[in-house]
Structure 1
Amino acid sequence: MFHIMRRIFAGLPVASVLIGFAGQPAMLMLPPALTASYVLIRDRIIRRRVGLAAWPSDGFARHVLVDDLGRLVCLTIAGIPLFFVGHALRGLLPAA
């Protein structure tokens, strides 16, 4: 469950560049929105598995949620300049 987040977070900058290359600024919000929904659904799953366990387990679930949302915010902010890098790469292609 936790190993997939590394792959998702690694794909967000690449997605920003590809969206910039495609010239679709409205699509820039889609990868972070899908990632946020996955993180929130995963938090619900973790909390359901914790159930009525001790407070440290609930604290772990909170830690995972806050850590993932913090990384998502940073990668979303870093995705904006990467969008413009992709857009600039598109401008370098010769017109066909």
Structure 2
Amino acid sequence: MFHIMRRIFASLPFASVLIGLAGQPAALVLPPTLAACFLLIRDRIIRRRVGLAAWPSDGFARHVLVDDLGWLICLTLLGLPLFLLGAMLRSLVLAG
């Protein structure tokens, strides 16, 4: 469950470049939105598995959520210049 987020986070910059190559700026919000939905669902699953355990287990679930949300925010902000890079590549390909 924890290893899939590395793959999702690694794919977000590539998705931004591909969206820039496609020239669809409105689609730029889709990958981070889907990743955030997955994060929230995963948090619910972790908290359900914790159940009535001690507070440290709940603290671990919060730590995982906050850490992943921090990475998601950073990668979303990194996606904006990568989108512009993809858009510039698209204009170069179409002009040449």
| Distance (Å, rounded) in 1 between the aligned partners of 2:93 and 2:10 | 26
Alignment coverage as a number of residue pairs:
96
| Distance (Å, rounded) in 2 between the aligned partners of 1:70 and 1:38 | 14
Q: Report the identity percentage.
A: 76
Alignment correspondent of 1:60 = 60
Query: Alpha carbon RMSD of aligned pairs, Å?
Result: 1.1
Q: Which runs of 5+ in 2 are unaligned?
A: none
Alignment correspondent of 1:11 = 11
| Distance (Å, rounded) in 1 between the aligned partners of 2:24 and 2:93 | 17
TM-score by structure 2 length?
Answer: 0.97
Alignment correspondent of 1:21 = 21
TM-score by structure 1 length?
Answer: 0.97
Residue-by-residue CA offset, 1:7-47 (whole Å, 9 max, x unaligned): 00000000000000000000000000000000000000000
The amino acid across from 1:62 in the alignment is R
